[in-house]
Structure 1
Amino acid sequence: MRRWVGIWGAAAACCAGLTSCTVPPGGVVGVTVDAQGAAVIVVQMCEGHIDGATLYRDDETLGKWEVSSPVTGFSQFTLDSGGNGWAVVGELEGRDPEQQYTIYGWSTDNSWSANHLDFSDRDLSGLKPGTVLVPEREQEGHRSESLEDFKTKTCEDWT
């Protein structure tokens, strides 16, 4: 009997440890393009904050950005150069137009994150300025919405 209590106790501790390691999302990352077709990352935080963003593919970091002040609402930066308080950290790796990439927002203290977005340069080629590619809610993939809706309606649906 003691053995089972010990096993169940260990299992419960492991489960609690696993769930406490996840960083809760407090917002969403999207991507749009500027008038020249350059990728612009947009962030809308609904609760909490983020301090940076990372672009990766297959567990390989291709780019990292840090922001001068924590983002608690809307923010944006150019993927290739940063801006608006965002600075590129280290070298940016080139992107293959055929590959899928993931970008997500994070906080240095792991208290908050912004939901990740999977996209390719091919996805970006179909975007127009003012249209944002955002992650689908509660399923894989992405969808488009206006930048205005991204800024004003993202947090309405936040639960």
Structure 2
Amino acid sequence: MRRWVGISLVVTSCFALVGCSPGIAGELGLMRDDKGNISAVLQICEGHIEYVALNLQGPGITNSPGEGPDLLGEWESDSEVGKGFVQFDLAHGGNGWKVVTPLAARNPASTFSITSWSMDNTWTALGPQFKTSDLANLKPGEVMVMPDDGSLGNRVQTLDDFKRSCS
């Protein structure tokens, strides 16, 4: 009997922990335009997003996205961004997105991550972890995103394929 009670407690605890996590709203990627500017691109499949942050990644870094000295850039939308596609320039914002924390200088040897979330923390979209050289290798119209199979590294796809990510 004790064994079943213990198993029930473990299973219930696992469901409780999973139930508190924000839902995945869609996909977040980075794209280079034909002038060399880097944009964030979001394809929202459900829920909503209002914030995007660029953070330094690495051993010993424990800050949450959008917090602390490892924050290298932050953007906020004028309103909830729901289902659909949105793109904005990381240097200047645009399309309803404003720069909250301007992009800081980045060490080319460092690894960075870009993350988005909703004001009420019920939705998130995770972007790639990358180095400056990864951005330099992007061709105009290519979007760098997280791998969809949990493997290391990133995936590069066309903008059209990115826009179909909710299909």
If the TM-score is normalised by the length of the shorter chain, which range does it land in? 0.7 to 0.9
Q: For 1:36 and 1:98, how far apart are their aligned partners in 2?
A: 24
Deviation at 1:69, TM superposition (A): 2.2
Q: CA RMSD in A?
A: 2.2
Amino acid paired to 2:79: S
From the two aligned structures, give the one with the greater helix fraction.
1
> Runs of 4+ in structure 1 displaced over 4 angstroms?
7-14
Q: Which blocks of at least 5 consecutive residues in structure 2 are unaligned?
A: 58-62, 64-69
Aligned twin of 1:45? 44
The number of aligned residues is 154
The match for 1:121 among 93, 110, 132 is: 132
Q: For 1:76 and 1:32, how far apart are their aligned partners in 2?
A: 9
Residue-by-residue CA offset, 1:59-78 (whole Å, 9 max, x unaligned)? 32211110112222100111
Aligned twin of 1:69? 79
Deviation at 1:97, TM superposition (A): 1.9
Aligned twin of 2:162? 150
Deviation at 1:17, TM superposition (A): 4.1
Deviation at 1:13, TM superposition (A): 6.2
Amino acid paired to 2:32: V
Q: For 1:45 and 1:89, how far apart are their aligned partners in 2?
A: 21
Residue-by-residue CA offset, 1:27-58 (whole Å, 9 max, x unaligned)? 00011112221211111011111111111123
Map 1:51-62 to 2 at 5 A. 51-58=50-57, 59=63, 60-62=70-72
Map 1:7-156 to 2 at 5 A. 14-58=13-57, 59=63, 60-72=70-82, 73-139=84-150, 140-151=152-163, 153-156=164-167
Q: For 1:44 and 1:50, how far apart are their aligned partners in 2?
A: 10
Between the aligned residues of both structures, percent identity stands at 41
- Secondary structure of the structure 2 residue equivalent to 1:94: coil
Deviation at 1:99, TM superposition (A): 1.5
Q: Which blocks of at least 5 consecutive residues in structure 1 are unaligned?
A: none
